[in-house]
Amino acid sequence: MGRERGREERDFGPGGDDTDCSILHVDMDAFFASVEVRRHPELRGKPVVVGGTGGRGVVSSASYEARAFGVRSAMPTSRARALCPQAIFIPPDSGAYGEASRAVMAILRDVTPLVEQLSVDEAFLDVAGARRLLGPPAQIAIDLRARIARELQLPCSVGIAPTKFLAKLGSARAKPDGLLLIPRARVLEFLHPLPVSTLWGVGERSAEQLHRVGLRTVGDVAQAPMGLLRSAVGDAAATHLHELASGRDPRPVTTGREEKSVGSETTYDIDVSDHERIKQTMLALSGQVGARLRAAGQSGRTIAIKVRFADFKTINRSRTLPVATDVSQEIFQTAWTLFRALGPTDRIRLIGVRVEGLAGAEGAARQLALGEPERGWREAERAIDAAASRFGRAAVKPASLLKAGDRRRQPDKRAEPDRLDPLSDGFTAS
């Protein structure tokens, strides 16, 4: 591995031909852990793990000293402690990481307005328009890394390439704290020896399907007959993978990142098997998702759930509705139906609800069914939104989420026949 890294630094270093390489991918190294080391310099050179420090915690970030022991992001904290007992565990501070992220992105936007932020710690840049003022792409990347290190005391890796896909590969290969240039003339030389799992869109199952037909490297995919690819992964994926394997990725850097889904999830402190409690959780999550959709003026047709069991096995299920919705009750009913169809008996660690395939709120309009009242859940929930904006979201919640004492304080439902039924998970004031 060290010899291979050394060859890449020599053959794909900043001294190469960057004539057609205007795309940069900047990726901060072990971002959360690096921010903590900056705040606590005495931690430099030590194994640092950022994440939930309780028994139910999950690793958010790990320094490279901790990674040497096998600690990885999304790993249970208990496992990380077993692998690296001497590690220093720090609870996350989202405010500090958000502030550091904004500072990084401000530096990137000083170079070019064409910055596509992917997450708090990575972004694409198109520096074609910055050449005349700031020099060639490789020099821009060198200067960027130096400025981020000097002003923010944070390390980052940068990939420089003709396309977004290749630039992201470059930054990954350059880690930690490195730079990799992939000249257009050497794209296939760099790309083809890599395993098929390198290609965007190839997960564990897709990799198995490609291996089954004898395709193990990116070069194998590029040279394979399209019929063979289609038989392995289907028509759409076959075309996509063949293009990437051939070094083609026409997607431009876009400054506006369109939200593709809205979701919410929760991890239980103790694994849960009580379906009534899970139902209440899903109702609360659906309420959060619906409120966010309505606030953003969006709606979506596909309702998805995520269920993670005690052994960390994770199942995702989804259903596409005839028309888009922003109604929390419709989201909940669909999500609960999906959950019941699973028929789970194992204890559950995490539950999530998500709405995908977003469009404008006008997409939620639909024709009333025969006998359906003109005003229903959508109008009720918009009234709830209005009340929440005035009195706070905690002032209005599903009646089934109220504590027993709160329920006793509610007026007798039988005296108010038009009131939403708490037993059907209607909403009420608290």
**What is the DSSP track for 237-258?**
HHHHHHHHHTT---PPP-SS--
Name the residue among 252, 263, 253, 257 with its Cα closest to residue 120.
257
Three-class SS of residue 354?
strand
| The amino acid at 263 | G
Supply the residues annotated as catalytic. 122
Alpha carbon 377 to its chain's center: 30
- CA dist., res. 68 & res. 310, Å (int): 27
Query: By the 8 A CB rule, do 164 and 27 touch?
Result: no
Q: What backbone torsions phi and psi does residue 306 show, to the nearest 5 degrees?
A: -130, 125
Report the amino acid identity of residue 107. I
296 contacts 346 by C-beta, under 8 angstroms: no
Q: Would the annotation count 121 as a binding residue?
A: yes
DSSP code at position 369: P
27 known ligand binder: yes
Pairing of strands 156-161, 179-181: parallel
What is the distance between the alpha carbons of residues 129 and 127, in angstroms, rounded to a whole number?
5
The secondary structure of residue 326, as a DSSP letter, is -
Token pair 């991918």: residue: 25
Structure token pair of residue 289: 């998702």
Q: What are residue 366's phi and psi, to 5 degrees?
A: -150, 160
CA distance 216 to 206: 11
Distance CA(314)–CA(411), nearest Å, equals 42
Query: What is the number of helices (H) and of strands (E) in the chain?
Result: 17, 14
Other beta carbons within 10 Å of 343: 6
137 to 157, 183, 262, 394: CA distances (angstroms): 14, 11, 36, 51
- Cβ-contact 339, 278 below 8 angstroms: yes
Mark the binding-site residues for Mg(2+), compressed into ranges.
27, 121
